[in-house]
């Protein structure tokens, strides 16, 4: 069991979706993540174990490399592609979304900002580590975040901004969310942000990269 899960984690880490995937070089011709997930299921390994000891391990490895500057956006993208392909095989086997997901996070790029790539990368890494993401897209108003919270009780919120001008809109959004429900955790991220600014606007945390955010989220599991 350990061997097949280790091979699966390696395929996720390097983005090898299936046997025909032409990378990485050291895995050419070998079974990919999809075949290994199917083989693990056929051998009787529980979906929860495949998820936690195979898929998530691989995503954490590439996330760590990204945080250390040893992996880059394309590496995250191909790893997420492999992760998503395997997730499609596992999802029907979970009895409920509550069993499958560790929790819910509402994400959006704040009002006035149309940049999406940073949020999308965080979304893929967070989803790859077992969290459900409600993606509100870009140019998201305070009201839209609050409406999403009404439909997703106990969800956390992640705000993204790329511009120094639009990050100023985070303050009003954080204030509105806290007025709606003071216990809702709100996190911020984006190129111009700092921990100091996060504290200034009353957010619950700032994260400079997806891996550090995922590590924090693990501490929030009830």
Q: What is the DSSP string of 131-172?
A: -EEEE--SSB-HHHHHHHHHHSTT-EEEEE--STTGGGHHHH
Q: Comparing C-alpha atoms, which of 104, 156, 96 is closest to residue 130?
A: 104
Regarding predicted confidence, which is higher, 22 or 84?
Answer: 22
Task: Provide CATH code, domain 2-95.
Answer: 1.10.1240.10
CB distance 71 to 61 below 8 Å:
no
pTM here is 0.67
From-to residues of CATH 3.40.50.280 in the chain = 101-218
129/60 Cα distance (integer angstroms): 7
pLDDT at 17 over 90: yes
Question: The tokens 């700032």 sit on which residue?
Answer: 206
- 106 pLDDT tier (thresholds 50, 70, 90): very high
| Predicted local confidence at residue 211, as pLDDT | 78
Task: Provide CATH code, domain 101-218.
Answer: 3.40.50.280
Rounded alpha-carbon distances, angstroms, from residue 77 to 20, 26, 37, 175 = 18, 19, 19, 33
**In a 3-state reduction of DSSP, which class is residue 109?**
strand
CB distance 58 to 9 below 8 Å:
yes
CB distance 104 to 220 below 8 Å:
no
Question: The tokens 């979970």 sit on which residue?
Answer: 94
What pairs with residue 186 in β-bridges?
157
pLDDT at 95 over 50: no
């Amino acid at each position: 069991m350990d061997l097949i899960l280790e091979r699966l984690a390696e395929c996720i880490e390097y983005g090898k979706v299936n046997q025909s995937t032409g990378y990485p070089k050291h895995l050419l011709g070998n079974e990919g993540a999809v075949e290994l997930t199917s083989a693990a299921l056929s051998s009787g390994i529980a979906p929860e174990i495949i998820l936690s000891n195979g898929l998530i391990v691989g995503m954490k490895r590439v996330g760590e490399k990204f945080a250390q500057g040893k992996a880059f956006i394309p590496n995250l993208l191909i790893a997420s592609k492999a992760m998503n392909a395997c997730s499609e095989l596992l999802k029907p086997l979970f009895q409920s979304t509550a069993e499958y997901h560790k929790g819910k996070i509402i994400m959006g790029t704040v009002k006035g900002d149309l940049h999406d790539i940073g949020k999308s990368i965080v979304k893929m890494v967070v989803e790859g580590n077992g969290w459900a993401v409600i993606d509100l897209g870009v140019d998201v108003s305070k009201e839209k975040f609050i409406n999403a919270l009404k439909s997703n009780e106990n969800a956390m919120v992640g705000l993204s901004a790329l511009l120094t001008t639009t990050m100023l809109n985070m303050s009003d959004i954080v204030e509105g969310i806290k007025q709606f429900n003071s216990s809702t955790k709100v996190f911020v991220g984006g190129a111009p942000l700092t921990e100091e600014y996060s504290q200034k606007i009353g957010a619950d945390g700032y994260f400079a990269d997806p891996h550090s955010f995922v590590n924090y989220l693990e501490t929030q599991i009830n």
